[in-house]
Amino acid sequence: MSFSADSNSPNPFHMCNICQKVIRKKDKGVRVPRPFSSGPSAFIPKEEIVEASQVDPLTEQLLAEAYSPSGHVDHLTQVMGLHPHYLESFLHSQFYLLRMDGPLPLHCRHFIAIMAAARHQCSFLVSLHVREFYRMGVCLDWLKGLQYVPQRLRNLNEINKLLAHRPWLITKEHIQNLVKTGEHSWSLAELVHAVVILAHFHALASFVFGSGINPQVDTQNTNGFQAVYISNYCTCDLASDHHLDRDLSSSSPESSALLCVFQTTDSVSELEALMDRMKRLQEEREEDEASQEEMATRFEKEKKESLLVGSGELEDEVMPTSKVSQFVEDATFGYQDFARRGEDNPPTFRAQDYSWEDHGFSLVNRLYSDIGLLLDDKFRTACDLTYYNMASHEDVDTTMLRRALFNYVHCMYGIRYDDYDYGEVNQLLERSLKVYIKTVTCYPERTTRRMYDSYWRQFRHSEKVHVNLLLMEARMQAELLYALRAITRYMT
Amino acid sequence: MEKMSRVTTALGSSTISGRTMFCHLDAPANAISVCRDATQVVVAGRNIFKIYGLEEEQFVEKLNLRVGRKPSLNFSCADVMWHQMEENLLATAATNGAVVTWNLGKPSRNKQDQLFTEHKRTVNKVCFHPTEVYMLLSGSQDGYMKCFDLRKKESVSTFSGQSESVRDVQFSMKDYFTFAASFENGNVQLWDIRRPDRYERMFTAHTGPVFCCDWHPDDRGWLATGGRDKMVKVWDMTTNRAKEIYCVQTIASVARVKWRPERKWHLATCSMMVDHNIYVWDIRRPFIPFATFEEHKDVTTGIVWRHQHDPYFLLSGSKDSTLYQHMFKDASRPVDRANPEGLCFGLFGDLAFAAKESLISGDANRKPYPGGDRRYPIFFFKKPDLTEQFAHVSSALSVFESSLESKRMDWFVKTARLYLLSGKPFAELCDHNAKVAKELNRPQVSTTWTMLRIMFSDPANLSTPGPNHIGKLGTLPLMNSFSMKEMGMGTESRLDRSKGESRQDNIHLELGNSLINSNNDENEETEGSEGQAEYMFGDAELDDDDLYSMDMFFSLVFSAEEQEYTLPQEAFPLRHEIMDNPLAPEHLQQDKADSPQASGNEAEVMCLTPIESFSLISISQPLFSPHLPAPFFCPVVREMLSHYAEQGDVQMAVSVLIVLGDRIRKEIDDLTQEHWYMSYIDLLQRFELWNVSNEVIKLSTCSAITCLNQTSTTLHVNCSNCKRPMSNRGWICDRCHQCASVCAVCHHVVKGLFVWCQGCSHGGHLEHVKNWLKSSSHCPAGCGHLCEYT
């Protein structure tokens, strides 16, 4: 435990620095939007979730009991339960990943999950899986930190780091290093399993932060270790606006102006405008076709523009909070834009050349049987999920909007669809939403309540959760595509 | 070569000839197509769109259709097709959703003719009508198929699959109006080109996407489909319901499938991922490809037969940026390398063996086997053209069954059932097990048990030897003459000797066929050899039958001749009976060095009095007990156990391990023990001896083994109060902090067995409820229900 200094302090609650900062700020009278500290999510009022889950409480519970790692309905499941149809396939695949037959031993899987979640300092997932790991009852000293972990698992760090922050940098050499024969080598099947777990939990961390999942209040501090471990956590956690201070202090005049604009615009007309644009796009498509060259440049433009979104003021790297730091190596490695100005960019990933349906699936399913089917099902459910309504409007075809969200995430990761007009993204996704998307997918630990609130203010919370689901799946698929492409290249 | 000449006539003056050749493209190819007269091939990909001429010796680049400084996405082709009627006409499917036609007859550099941008997503496939010049069909990711008339600016009809993305569309070769479309969700639909409102029929062909389909060029009813599920299926479409008539399982998802011209049963496939080869299958022989082309170094993306009536030339394009022409005669034939021999054990120990006829008949000495020798010859009839047929293989299948052998494992089952591993004093366990072994006609095992009893028993317990040796106690006085001193000497000398000869002796004994060397040795030192034999078996309280089995050793005492005579019996025992070997050599050596009277170190009881040829009388005597503590024998026992285990009788090893318990446990390292346990438990479970295996698990001391009993024994409970699962402890709910199960009688929490009434659902400690209901028939909770306890 790295708490030796703190644990002597008289303060019974160990607060992380950020929390203290926030509190100090509060004292100074700065108005901070108060997160919902009770209930599953800090962003979503408790009642909303409870209400939704009452429609079909039984299914959700049954599912959670059967498949969720904690064995009961945790906050994550509750929030995701706003979309029970998706929840089902999510839990199925997660259960298969963590519990069913697979090349990796069970405790390793949880440890890899911890490693993945720790990359984004997602203490919700880390503590969840620390608990699971503890329950396995083997190799407990791994929990003390990475240096206690066998070399083989530690070798996974490199790929974990890349996948989490800059998946486009993964090359077949990385795979080769892991797979080449030697004492600490991985078999391809194990590696694929690990990669899927990593991608799954990176993406899940996005969801956790994006939906502001509150930490699980723990009443089961029964066994010594767990008690120590968990009580050392400051429960403020993700619920807090712990980046807010930085946001406020460092926000450029431009972005604060932006905020003003949104505060003043009538949010109803905002929604109307979006609907309008969708309709117009639909019609436009039938008549006018953008010239081919322009299509190509639009992608580049969108890609470039994603740089401008929100990433400017991130020079001060957040050091991971100590509670997860023992699972992180090279903590300063963070997200960098795919397309950086004035540098040699890695080539664009053409979705038509390596798609999930054709290539990714075949490879994954070959090396780790059946996971392909489950992931396929999950991606499909996430992409096809629709209730045909937008905010208060019913019977709306949201395909275009969903596709824009999905493809925008891929665009930030440098994956391009030839058959998509990236001009649509620009029309459909407003700037505050883009900021949110970028934050949630690329550095989710910086998500704040304000970001969550600032876009689509007319929309229901369940719809925002839906957005999060799309972002999560898009991110997972993007990571998988890069990793699997590297594996394919290694194999050929 | 008759075929060849026919082809030639079909082709008229332009005979196709050539060789296996390739050329480098500048970029990966996505698809290729060939023009009707088989002289040119078009290659299309993301960054390439070129026409190559096929010459005798090489490919020659004829035309680059990718013109313009900054080519648009319309050039990024997912598919290409050359019209089979009009040789100037090409169509491509672009990844951005455009369908483009090209007219090679155009004078300008840019040959682009028509551009249709009606599809919203990537177009996966374009297909010209085989006989109509102006009819073009496209299938796209957006789920629509569109039919274009090239004389018009836009599509004439749109077909909605009402399901997912279209992966392939193919006009039927024979039915003018019919085309097939395959979908990402596994369906295949048949459409009539005149009826865009509804498909004619639909069936599910694969699980997962169907990447490709191809109509048989001759047989109008046959459609081949290939999918991500790694299967190629051939469907008969003439019946009411599409019927799967052939199915080929490949090793990777199937990207393309093409029937081979002029060969009814052959088709070529290439795969989407991982596997780079092109296979030609005979669909009647789905387990091994008929021919393989292995030239490509990355995934093959397009295959096409060069001419629609010539089965010998195959063209292929690949992601590795090469274009190949494969000659059929250069293909590799997996069947040639396949091993035509097969060997397999049946469930009951039968052995089936298939091998080439020639091999088997060549073996003149093949004897009929006791269980009967049946032969099932399989012949494949040879057809004239060797290269066009599967290799002629005729194999003979022999099945060896042995009634003797089929019962072979009975001893195992019986032994497992009858052995006692715990619950009685050590000596009784040994005796019991010895008896069991003896009844099963396994004298050596039996002897081992007896020896163990003697080695490790308390002297006091030993005074009651089994009834069967009592009769032989006549020589008891003799034994007494052995002195303890001599035993000590024996030990030393044994050590000396073992350096030199133990190995050799060991081998002899185990092989059991040539003891001559050792016999000679022994003869030279007659005295020694006698002595050795004497006490090596002296320890056992054997009756005559038991001794009989050990006669190899006894015979040493008497004469070399006798040894030879008796040895064969030892030479072919069931393997587990060769159990004394680890002990034997040591005895032998030590005896040689010693006087005959010397007492063996391990052999506690020693007295062999030859009676007639080989009856010995052995007496168990606790002679050694004061001086030799049980640990003294541990090394020997350890060796013995290892020996049993190595011989495959892990049952013995584990049983002894359990019965001896702490006496021996520390001598054997945990891994080995665990290994034995695991093997034994595995065996027991295969024989469905669940009880025994459970007992063994319970009695084992390895933690890895005992925990086997605890796998899948978790019981999940929900709180009776809040209905939430209780994750931590079974009796108190984390959520509502209520004790879930309180005994209605004593009002304490029940932490063990909880019994409750099915009627009123009150209950409590099993004992409490039982007692309560003895005196009262009402529910202890006072709910007034009349509970019953049965």
| pLDDT, position B391 | 61
- B144 contacts on A by Cβ (under 8 Å): none
Smallest CA–CA separation between A73 and chain B, in Å? 9
pLDDT at residue B576, as a whole number:
40
Burial of B237 per CB tally in 10 Å (0-12, 13-18, 19+): buried
Average pLDDT over residues B227-254: 89
Average pLDDT over residues B174-182: 89
The answer, yes or no, to whether residue B198 has pLDDT greater than 70, is yes
Nearest-CA residue of chain B relative to A384? B164
Structure confidence at residue B628 (pLDDT): 61
Average pLDDT, whole number, for chain B? 73
Task: Work out how many CB contacts closer than 8 A connect A with B.
Answer: 91
ipTM above 0.85, yes or no: no
Helix (H) or strand (E) holding A426: helix A423-428
Nearest chain A CA: its distance from B278 CA (Å): 15
Nearest C-alpha of chain B: how many angstroms from A418? 5
A219 touches chain B (CB under 8 A): yes
Confidence check: pLDDT of B501 > 60? no
Cβ distance of A292 and B96 shorter than 8 Å: yes
Cα–Cα dist B130/B173, whole Å: 7
Per the model's pLDDT, the better-predicted residue between A10 and B760 turns out to be B760
Of residues B499 and B693, more confidently modeled: B693
CB-based contact B273 A419, cutoff 8 Å:
no
Q: What is the pLDDT of residues B262-291, one digit of tens each?
A: 888 899 999 988 888 999 999 888 888 999
For residue B177, pLDDT over 70 is answered with: yes
A contacts of B299 (beta carbons < 8 Å): 492
Is the pLDDT assigned to residue B485 strictly greater than 60? no
pTM for the full predicted model: 0.62
Rounded distance between C-alpha atoms, residue B784 and residue B425, angstroms: 53
Chain A residues whose CB is inside 8 A of the B296 CB are none
Cβ contact A70–B276 (<8 Å) = no
How far does B735 lie from chain A, in Å, by closest CA? 8
Across the interface, whether the CB atoms of B73 and A289 are under 8 A apart is answered no
Tens of pLDDT, residues B382-396: 444 555 666 666 777
User: Which residue in chain A has the smallest CA separation from B273?
Assistant: A359
Question: Which residue on chain A is closest to B320 by alpha carbon?
Answer: A492
Nearest-CA distance B321 → chain A (Å): 14
CB contact under 8 A, B228 and A220: no
Q: What percent of chain B shows pLDDT beyond 90?
A: 15
Tell me if B298 and A285 make a contact (CB, 8 A cut-off). no
Catalytic residues of A: 122
> In the prediction, which pLDDT does B182 show?
93
Closest chain B CA to residue A286: B118
C-alpha span between B687 and B411 (Å, rounded): 12
- Whether A26 has its CB under 8 Å from any CB of chain B: the answer is no
Within 8 A of A219 by CB-CB distance, chain B residues are 734-735, 737
A491 and chain B: CB distance < 8 Å anywhere? yes
Q: What is the pLDDT at residue B408?
A: 63
Among the partner-chain residues A291, A359, A419, the one whose CB lies closest to the CB of B95 is A419
For B96, the closest chain A residue by CA position comes to A419
Q: Which helix or strand (DSSP H or E) is residue A123 part of?
A: helix A123-136
CB nearest to B141's CB, from A285, A419, A492: A419
Q: Write the pLDDT tens digit of every residue in B420-450.
A: 888 888 888 888 888 888 888 888 888 888 8
CB interface of A with B, residues 375-414, below 8 Å: 376
| Residues in B touching A417 (Cβ below 8 Å) | 122
Output the pLDDT for position B573. 39
Pairing of strands A415-416, A349-350: parallel
Q: Do residues B37 and B46 lie in contact, with contact meaning Cβ atoms separated by under 8 Å?
A: no
Nearest of B267, B289, B276 to residue B324 by alpha carbon: B276
- Whether residue A193 contacts residue A98, with contact meaning beta carbons closer than 8 Å, is answered with no
Contact check, Cβ <8 Å, B272/A358: yes
- Chain B touched by A182 (CB under 8 Å): no
Q: Are A86 and A381 in contact (CB under 8 A)?
A: yes
pLDDT at B519 (0 to 100)? 44
Residue type present at position B634: C
Q: Which residue has the higher pLDDT, B352 or A198?
A: A198
Instruction: Classify residue B223 as left (phi > 0), alpha (psi -120 to 50) or beta.
Output: beta
B142 Cβ contact partners less than 8 Å away, ≥ 6 residues apart: B97, B119, B120, B121, B165
Query: Which pLDDT score, from 0 to 100, does residue A63 have?
Result: 65
Indicate the range of B20-29, B166-175, B776-785 predicted with least confidence: B776-785
Which residues on chain A are in Cβ contact (under 8 Å) with B95? Answer: 350, 352, 418-419
Average pLDDT over residues B685-704: 83
pLDDT per position as a tens digit, A203-220: 999 999 888 888 776 544
Yes or no, beta carbons of B46 and A350 under 8 Å apart: yes
Q: Which residues of chain A have pLDDT under 70?
A: 1-38, 50-72, 217-269, 282-296, 303-324, 339-345
Cross-chain Cβ contact B725/A363 below 8 Å:
no
- Report the residue of B75, B273, B276, B297 to disrupt the A interface, i.e. the one with the largest count of A CBs within 10 Å: B273
Q: Are the beta carbons of A350 and B272 separated by less than 8 Å?
A: no
Among B30, B73, B96, B723, most A C-beta atoms within 10 A, so best to mutate, is B96
Tell me the pLDDT band of B574, cut-offs 50, 70 and 90: very low
The band of B368, judged by pLDDT with boundaries at 50, 70 and 90, is: very low
Lowest mean pLDDT among A474-478, B488-492, B624-628: B488-492
Flag whether pLDDT at B366 surpasses 90: no
Per-residue pLDDT at A129: 87
User: CB atoms < 10 A from the CB of A288, how many?
Assistant: 8
**Nearest Cα to Cα of residue A421 among A303, A294, A329:** A294
CB B453 within 8 A of CB B430: yes
Phi and psi, residue B753, nearest 5°:
-75, 135
Mark yes or no for CB contact B274/A366 under 8 Å: yes
E strand spans, B672-767: 717-718, 725-726, 754-756, 763-765
pLDDT digits (tens, 9 = 90+) for A344-396: 667 778 887 888 888 888 888 888 888 888 998 899 888 888 888 777 777 77
Using a CB–CB cut-off of 8 Å, the residues of B that contact A are: 28, 46, 70, 72-74, 76, 78, 94-98, 117, 119-122, 141, 184, 208-209, 211, 228, 252-253, 272-274, 276, 297-299, 716, 724-725, 727-729, 734-735, 737
pLDDT of residue A474: 93
pLDDT tens digits along B90-145: 999 988 888 999 998 888 888 888 888 888 888 999 999 988 888 999 999 888 99
**CB-closest option in B96, B725, B727 to A419:** B96
CB-based contact B274 A488, cutoff 8 Å? yes
Nearest CA in chain A to B207: A373
Residue A65: per-residue pLDDT: 63
Residues B725, A65: C-beta atoms closer than 8 Å: yes
> Helix, strand or coil for residue B244?
strand
| DSSP, res B217 | S
pLDDT at B509 over 60: no
Cβ distance of B727 and A418 shorter than 8 Å: no
Q: Which residues 51-90 of chain A have a CB within 8 Å of chain B?
A: 65, 70-73
Q: CB B96 to CB A71 under 8 A?
A: no
Per-residue pLDDT, averaged over B189-212, amounts to 90
B737 vs A contacts (CB less than 8 Å): 219
User: Do A361 and B96 lie within an 8 Å CB cutoff?
Assistant: no
A258 and B CB contact within 8 Å: no
Distance CA B57, CA B54 (A): 8
Contacts of A492 in chain B (CB under 8 A): 274, 276, 297-299
A286 touching B, CB under 8 A? no
Q: How many Å apart are CA B300 and CA B285, to the nearest integer?
A: 23
The predicted pLDDT at position A397 comes to 80
